[in-house]
């Protein structure tokens, strides 16, 4: 893992986002801040596959992935003690399982300074 003083440089971050344009924005933003972006992928099965194949320092998960949610990936990350944060277009936390209520949640559209700040706090 990269040293804390280097910001996000060298961190391997999984991105799970089903909207292509948002996924590409996230990939570009995180890459610009020195992350090695894994993905992005739009579906749970693909995210779980990358999680099984790669060592990760963190993940950014869109909660709503069309007909599914990211919660199976979140559970696998939690089991492996890999930190993550949620992205969502919704403001209500009522649909989030109790085991994930403490996970930081950022709203869409993505605010770059807020995402970078949250990533530094969560992934360190």
Mean pLDDT of 17-34: 96
Q: Which long-range contacts (CB under 8 A, 24 or more apart) does 41-49 make?
A: 41/14, 41/15, 41/16, 42/16, 42/17, 42/18, 42/66, 43/18, 43/68, 44/16, 44/68, 44/69, 44/70, 44/72, 44/73, 46/16, 47/14, 47/16, 47/73, 48/72, 48/73, 48/76
Q: Where are the domains of the chain?
A: 8-91+100-123
Note the pLDDT tens digit of each residue in 56-100: 999 999 999 999 999 999 999 999 999 999 999 877 777 899 999
Residue 2: which pLDDT band, with cuts at 50, 70 and 90?
A: very low
In CATH, which superfamily holds the domain spanning 8-91+100-123? Response regulator (3.40.50.2300)
Note the pLDDT tens digit of each residue in 75-85: 999 999 999 99
Q: Structure pTM? A: 0.92
Mean pLDDT of 40-47: 98
């Amino acid at each position: 893992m990269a040293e804390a003083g280097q910001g996000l440089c060298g961190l391997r971050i999984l991105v799970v986002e089903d909207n292509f344009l948002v996924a590409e924005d996230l990939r570009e933003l995180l890459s610009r801040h020195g992350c090695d972006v894994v993905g992005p992928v739009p579906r749970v099965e693909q995210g779980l596959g990358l999680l099984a194949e790669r060592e990760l320092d963190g993940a950014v998960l869109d909660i709503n992935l069309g007909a599914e949610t990211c919660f199976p990936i979140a559970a696998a990350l939690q089991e492996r003690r890999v930190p993550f944060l949620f992205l969502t277009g919704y403001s209500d936390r009522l649909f989030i399982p109790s085991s994930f209520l403490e996970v930081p949640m950022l709203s869409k559209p993505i605010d770059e300074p807020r995402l970078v700040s949250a990533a530094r706090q969560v992934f360190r």
